[in-house]
Each structure stands twice: as C-alpha cells, then as structure tokens.
Amino acid sequence: MKHLLPLTILLLMPGPAQAAASPGARIAFEGAASGAPPCAACHGEHLQGTPALKSPAIAGLTADYILARLDHYAGPSGHNPQMKQVATTLTAQEKRVVADYLAGLKR
C-alpha cells in the first residue's frame, strides 16, 4: 500500500492546489475522465517503472514515442492486455495531454 500514499495525498489536497495540477498530471496520477486508470498505478509513483509489474519507465519519453506506443497497443498488433485497455479507453485528446505531460518529466 505504501506506493498509494502519494496518490492519497494528491486526492486530499485542498481545491486550489488540485486545480494547479495540470490535466496531464491528473490523468497520470488519478486516471482519465474516460475511465482509463492512472498510469502511476502500474508505472510507479514517479512513473519510473515497476519491475514487479513489468511496467517500464514512461517519464521522460518523447510525446511522439508515447503516442506511437499507445496506437500500437490499441491496434491489432498490440497484445498487452493492460495497455490495450488503457490505450483503447483514453480519448485522442487525453493521449495527447498525458503524453505531453510525461515528456516534460525527468527520465
């Protein structure tokens, strides 16, 4: 449960601080309005990967690369069930926004 603590803190933050979190950060840490789960749930609290879940680091990848990977997972050759669910649930705009957010993070 330890890794869920930052999420809890995010959710408990008062209104103004939460409003300051970018839409991309919200998708990454709280999930998307479309229903896609938070990236951090699998990719780790710093989005640096969770080896135990075979989830690679996604912080600091380029936005183009992330969007290409999401397209791959959503398409016929994407066989990873977890990422297929994420990639087929996110809207095109949510993909763009979260990809831009992740690309701005330190690798």
Contacts with ligand HEC by CB under 6 A lie at: 27, 36-37, 39, 41-43, 53-56, 58, 66, 69, 80, 82-83, 86, 90, 98
Q: What angle do CA 78, 27, 64 make, to 5 degrees?
A: 50
Using alpha carbons, select from 59, 65, 66 the residue that is nearest to residue 105.
Answer: 59
Q: Which two tokens stand for residue 54?
A: 């075979």
Residue with Cβ nearer ligand HEC (16 or 76): 76
Minimum distance of ligand HEC from residue 14's CB (angstroms): 25
Q: What angle do CA 33, 9, 22 make, to 5 degrees?
A: 45
Residue with Cβ nearer ligand HEC (25 or 43): 43
Minimum distance of ligand HEC from residue 68's CB (angstroms): 8
